[in-house]
Amino acid sequence: MFNAMLILIVFLFVILFSSLKVLREYERAVIFQLGKFWMVKGPGLIIVIPIIQQMVRIDLRTRVLDVPPQDVISRDNVSMKVNAVVYYRVLQPDKAIIQVERYEMATSQLAQTTLRSVLGQHDLDEMLAERGKLNDDIQRILDEQTEAWGIKVSNVELKHIDLNENMVRAIAKQAEAERIRRAKIIDAEGEQQAAEKLAEAAEILSRRPQAMQLRYLSALQNIAGEKASTIVFPVPIDLIQSFTGGKAPTER
C-alpha cells in the first residue's frame, strides 16, 4: 500500500512538473485544449495540462528574412538577378499558427513572388535610381497580404542588382556619353553667358567714349607690365581729343 502511494505521488509530481512552462519576455504560447484554440499565454510561468492541452511556442522578436536571388526581367527587357532582405515580426500568435501553415516559409515564398512582380513593372533605370520607392512598394504589398496571418512586415531592402557584363559595359558607355553631353551643354551655356556679357559691355562702352579710352589705356598698361621691351603703339585721335576738350592739336 505504501509503495502504491509513493508511486502515485511521484507520478503526480512528474505530471505537475511537466505541466509548468516558463516563457521569456519575447515569447508567447498558443494553447489548444482538446484540439480547439483556447488562449494565448505568457510571458512568465504558465501551466499546460498534459494530454488535454497542447502548447505552440511563438517568438515575437523581429526576424530577418534573406530573400534568395531572383531572376527578374524588367519592363525594358533587361535580365538580372535581384535579392533582398525582409524584416518582419509576429503580432498575433494565434493567427500565425491557425491561419497559415509554417508562416516563415509562407512569408519567404510571398516575398520572392512579390519581388519579381513589382520589379518586373519598372525599367532598369528606375530600379537603380528609385530603390527607396521600390522598397516601400514591396513592403506595403507584403504587409497587406500577411496581415491576415498576424504578421507585420516592417521593412524591405533591395540588396544587390546583378547584371551581366555586356549590360554593365553598356551602362558604363551610356553614363560616359551622358557626362560628355552635360559637359558640352555647360560649355555652351558658358559661351552664351560670356557673349551676352561682352555685348552688354560693348553697348556700355559705345555710349561712353571716355570709358573706352580708359579701357584702352588699361590694356596698354597690362601689356607694358608683362613685357620689358619698348612698346610702340599708335594713339587714336579721339583719345587726344578727349583730353583737349574735343579740339584737335595744331601744328606749330
Segments making up each domain of the chain, as ranges: 16-59, 63-163, 164-207, 212-246
Nearest to 130 by CA among 154, 121, 80: 121
pTM here is 0.66
C-alpha–C-alpha distance, residues 157 and 178, integer Å: 28
Top CATH class, 63-163: alpha beta
Look at 68 and 246; give whichever has higher pLDDT.
Answer: 68
Rounded Cα distance between 53 and 36, Å, is 9
Q: pLDDT at position 189, please?
A: 87
At residue 236, the pLDDT reads 57
Per-residue pLDDT reduced to its tens digit, 205-241: 676 666 666 666 666 666 666 555 555 555 555 555 5
C-alpha cell of residue 14: 512528474
Q: Would you state the pLDDT for residue 123?
A: 87
CB 90 within 8 A of CB 58: yes
User: What cell numbers appear for 199 in the block?
Assistant: 555685348
Cell reading at 225: 607690365
How do residues 84-101 score in pLDDT, each as one tens digit? 999 999 999 999 999 999
Provide, rounded to the nearest whole percent, the portion of the chain with pLDDT above 90: 42
The answer to whether residue 136 scores a pLDDT higher than 50 is: yes
State residue 60's pLDDT score. 95
Whole-angstrom Cα distance, residue 218 to residue 194? 21
Contact 67, 83 (CB under 8 A): yes
Closest CA to 128 of 177, 172, 70, 85: 172
Torsion angle (degrees, nearest 10) of CA 240, 241, 242, 243:
60
